[in-house]
Structure 1
Amino acid sequence: MAPEADRAGDAWSFEAIGTRWQVETGEPLSEEAQREVRAIIDRFDAEWSRFRPDSLVSQLARGAGWVSAPADADTLLAVYADLSAATSGAVNPLIGDVLERRGYDSAYSFVDHGPVAAAKNWQEQVRATDGRLVLDPPATIDVGAIGKGRLVDLVLACVRRHVGGDIVVDASGDLAARGTAVRVALEHPYDTTRAVGVIELEDAALCASAVNRRVWGDGLHHVLDARTGAPVERFAATWAVASDALHADAIATALFFDGGPELAHAWGADWVRMTTDGRLQWAPDSKAELFT
């Protein structure tokens, strides 16, 4: 997923959390603002990354029982509750142990030990209460279904505190635009030199997900069904547009499963998805221009 053409303004690019970021503003972003953005990303990573041994979720996975709750713990768990209900349990924040068992672990071993299901009663196992994030028994939280979208929103809010006018935050697949209209190409999951369509964003966010990202082994990729531990096979790519990146990211994940379109409708989100045999599906009132 990429902009069709360069946009006017000042651009700041950097690497963080294994992703290429680009922040475009109508005026240069100060060094102070850049430091604040990096601090926000580092704090989120220190709280939610299962790849960092010192993170809060890694402490919980080792049996800490509880940690001081991150400021957005309630928000993330509430979105996961909606995702889980809409997809009949296919999306679950305790998918981390399943991903690690299948080879997508903190050491990037990519050694598959077979499928297992994530805990069905995750809402009883993990909760935010009285300023604590509680997890009992120990398990590995993975917020990959919505985490980068949430982080894009946090970065956007920080940038808006420092500059006005047009702002675009692009985190390599999760993008939010304020003030300016942005035409974004929807990258073909099987041929990254092609697009399946374009969509225009203005004061909205677009998030994309595809099974050609983070692939290893024989047919293994990062989009797993929490009920079975198996990678999804019906859909190859999804794109979702919502008022913020958190909900766009959530819809992009939900669209790999039954119930995704219904959740998108309930949240007023636009969407497109591609099946693994190359057919496109889209929201009845989608504003995307698709090359069908």
Structure 2
Amino acid sequence: MPHRLHLFLVLSLLLTSSCQQAPREYKQTLLVFGTLVKITLREVDPALAQKYIAQIRKDLNFMHKAWHPWKPGPMGRTNALLATGGWFSANPSVLPVIKRGIELARITNNLFNPAIGKLIGLWGFHQDDAPKGPPPAKKAIDQLLARHPRMSDIEIDGLRMRSHNPAVQLDFGAMAKGLAVDRVIHYLRSQGVRNAIINAGGDLKVIGSHGDRPWRIGIRHPREKGKVLAALDAYDGDSVFTSGDYERYYIYKGRRYHHIIDPRTGYPANQSTSATVILKDAATADAAATALFVAGPSGWQVIARKMHLRYVMLVDKNGRIIMTPAMAKRITLIDTDRKPIIIQP
């Protein structure tokens, strides 16, 4: 009898184990916004996961086309009408983006400045492939800077808008990805998805957790390709965004020219190699990372204080790693002998 009881318990345990399925994880990669968007959904029925991915693909493609700064579409038409200086009816697909851009430009002291589209185009970054040089002539840069294009030049009255400065040309490359990620996460939450991560070229936002642990995130090394500089745990609702000079750039006569233009000088910002921020709102995190990168080691604290940023890490042009105390508690540096400089904003 004891032998039979033992055998029964063993069989029961085996049956119970076989019935316990591993958590379902569905992964899909999309090419949109000029980058790979990796979507991971956990504990979601495969049929539902496919349905969600199909809707996300549709939404991202719509946003990409609507917000594209130099290809035909609503944003391109908006730019053409802004140049006239007259009132026009704003396209509903771009108006919320522009309003958000005006507010984020204000709180970043215009270091995030989507109105400098003409300057970005002058540098050759209004194309799918990175330019090869040479850099634009100083005279051409100075002429655009002298016109001071800013988001505050745009006036909005209900559904109408106009620009008081014909030099304004909108390019939301430093915010659009974050806004798109926010909208995708909102959609997934509305469908009852409880655990997911949206990773858009290394910039990401998470829902829930990865099983019984937080989502583990790696931050790219700005100078050593393929290496991770640091890792951190991301919790429900966290957005982790990094601006770096390693994504779109070209080398001309031994000098690196990248796509993050300092609106104050008209040239690529040259004091940082990457800036990482953690916030709940992905669009704000996207713009904040750009502003911190442009501000550099001498000015990032002003931006961090104004935006109430707790979690900031900046790598300067000399490889120094600067971070806030709150970030230092959450982040683990990997494969580096450098000790971080910890500074309050």
Same fold (TM over 0.5): yes
Partner of residue 7, structure 2: none
Q: 1:31 to 1:10 in 2, by over 3 A?
A: closer
SS at match of 1:191: coil
* Residue type of the alignment partner of 1:229: G
Tell me, yes or no, if the aligned pair for 1:77 and 1:127 is still in contact at 8 Å.
no
Tell me, yes or no, if the aligned pair for 2:178 and 2:282 is still in contact at 8 Å.
yes
- Residue 155, structure 1, aligned to residue 184, structure 2: yes
* Residue type of the alignment partner of 1:129: D
Partner of residue 80, structure 2: 62
Partner of residue 288, structure 1: 331
Output one character per residue of 1:37-56: Cα deviation in whole Å (capped at 9) or x when no partner: 1232223223321131x222
1:205 shift after superposition: 0.6
**Pairing of 1:53-202 with structure 2 (within 5 A):** 54-63=72-81, 65=84, 66=88, 67-69=90-92, 70=94, 71-83=96-108, 85=109, 89-106=110-127, 108=129, 110=131, 111=133, 112-114=135-137, 115-116=141-142, 117-118=144-145, 119-120=147-148, 122-136=150-164, 137=166, 139-180=168-209, 181-202=214-235
Provide the aligned C-alpha RMSD in A. 2.4
Output one character per residue of 1:99-123: Cα deviation in whole Å (capped at 9) or x when no partner: 1111112375825323345443524
Measure, in 2, the Cα distance between the counterparts of 1:198 and 1:247: 21
* Residue type of the alignment partner of 1:290: L
1:234 to 271, 283, 289: 271
Q: 1:222 to 1:171 in 2, by over 3 A?
A: same
1:210 to 232, 236, 244: 244
1:280 shift after superposition: 0.4
Which consecutive unaligned segments of at least 5 residues does structure 1 have?
A: 1-6
Partner of residue 16, structure 1: 32
Q: 1:165 to 1:75 in 2, by over 3 A?
A: same
Would you say how many aligned residue pairs link Structure 1 and Structure 2? 281
* Residue type of the alignment partner of 2:54: R
Tell me, yes or no, if the aligned pair for 2:230 and 2:332 is still in contact at 8 Å.
yes
Tell me, yes or no, if the aligned pair for 1:261 and 1:283 is still in contact at 8 Å.
no
Which consecutive unaligned segments of at least 5 residues does structure 2 have?
A: 1-22, 339-345
Tell me, yes or no, if the aligned pair for 1:48 and 1:56 is still in contact at 8 Å.
yes
Partner of residue 264, structure 1: 304
- Relative to its length, the structure with more helix (as a share) is 2
Output one character per residue of 1:137-186: Cα deviation in whole Å (capped at 9) or x when no partner: 25321112222111111111112222321111111121001111211111
* Residue type of the alignment partner of 2:113: N
Measure, in 1, the Cα distance between the counterparts of 2:58 and 2:185: 13
Partner of residue 41, structure 1: 60
1:124 shift after superposition: 4.1
1:9 shift after superposition: 1.9
Tell me, yes or no, if the aligned pair for 1:60 and 1:139 is still in contact at 8 Å.
no
Measure, in 1, the Cα distance between the counterparts of 2:62 and 2:266: 30
Pick the structure with greater CA Rg. 2
* Residue type of the alignment partner of 1:281: I
SS at match of 2:115: helix
- Relative to its length, the structure with more strand (as a share) is 1
Question: What percent of counterpart residues are identical?
Answer: 20
* Residue type of the alignment partner of 1:92: N
* Residue type of the alignment partner of 1:47: A
* Residue type of the alignment partner of 2:271: R
TM-score by length of 1: 0.86
Measure, in 2, the Cα distance between the counterparts of 1:155 and 1:189: 27
Partner of residue 3, structure 1: none
Tell me, yes or no, if the aligned pair for 1:50 and 1:142 is still in contact at 8 Å.
yes
Where has structure 1 moved over 6 Å in runs of 4 or more? none
